[in-house]
Amino acid sequence: MELRTIDTIKDLSGKTVLLRIDCDVDIENGRILDDTRLDVALPTIEFLLKKGADINIVGHLGRPKTTDNGQLTTDNSKFTLVPIAHWFAKKFKVQSSKYKVGKFEAWKITDRINLIENIRFFKGEEDNPSSASGRAFARDLALLGDVYVNDAFAVSHRAHASIVGVTKFLPSYAGLHLKKEVHELSKILNNPPPGQRPSGAAKRPLAVLIGGAKIETKLPLVSKMHAIADYVLVGGEIAEQTRVLIKVQHEKIKEPKSAVLVADLREDGFDITPKSIENFKQILGLAGTIVWNGPVGLIRPPIQNSKFKIQNSEDTERGTRELAQFIVRTSAYKVVGGGDTLAYLRRIDLLSKFDFVSMGGGAMLEFLSGHKLPALKTLEK
Q: What is the pLDDT of residues 30-66, one digit of tens each?
A: 899 889 999 999 999 999 999 999 999 999 999 887 6
Distance CA 230, CA 298 (A): 27
Which residues fall within 8 angstroms of residue 364, CB to CB, at 6 or more apart?
153, 181, 185, 293, 337, 338, 358
Domain boundaries, the chain: 6-178, 190-368
Using the Cα atoms of residue 261, residue 280, residue 343 and residue 365 in order, give the sign of their dihedral.
negative
CATH topology of domain 190-368: Rossmann fold (3.40.50)
Mapping DSSP to helix (H, G, I), strand (E, B) and coil, where does residue 20 land?
Answer: strand
Pick the CATH number of 6-178 from 3.30.160.100, 3.40.50.300, 3.50.50.60, 3.40.50.1260: 3.40.50.1260
pLDDT confidence band for 227 (50 / 70 / 90): confident
DSSP string, 56-104: EEE---S---B-TTS-B-S--GGG-SHHHHHHHHHHTTS--EEEEETTE
pLDDT confidence band for 305 (50 / 70 / 90): very low
Q: Which residue has the higher pLDDT, 236 or 293?
A: 293
Distance CA 254, CA 215 (A): 24
Domains 6-178 and 190-368 belong to one CATH topology:
yes
Tell whether the model's pLDDT for residue 214 goes beyond 90.
no
| Cβ atoms of residues 361 and 211 within 8 Å | no
Q: Which residue has the higher pLDDT, 77 or 40?
A: 40
Q: What is the pLDDT of residues 231-250, one digit of tens each?
A: 989 887 776 666 656 665 55
State pTM to two decimals: 0.85
pLDDT confidence band for 308 (50 / 70 / 90): very low
How far does Cα 243 stand from its chain's mean position?
Answer: 26
Q: Which residue has the higher pLDDT, 259 or 215?
A: 259
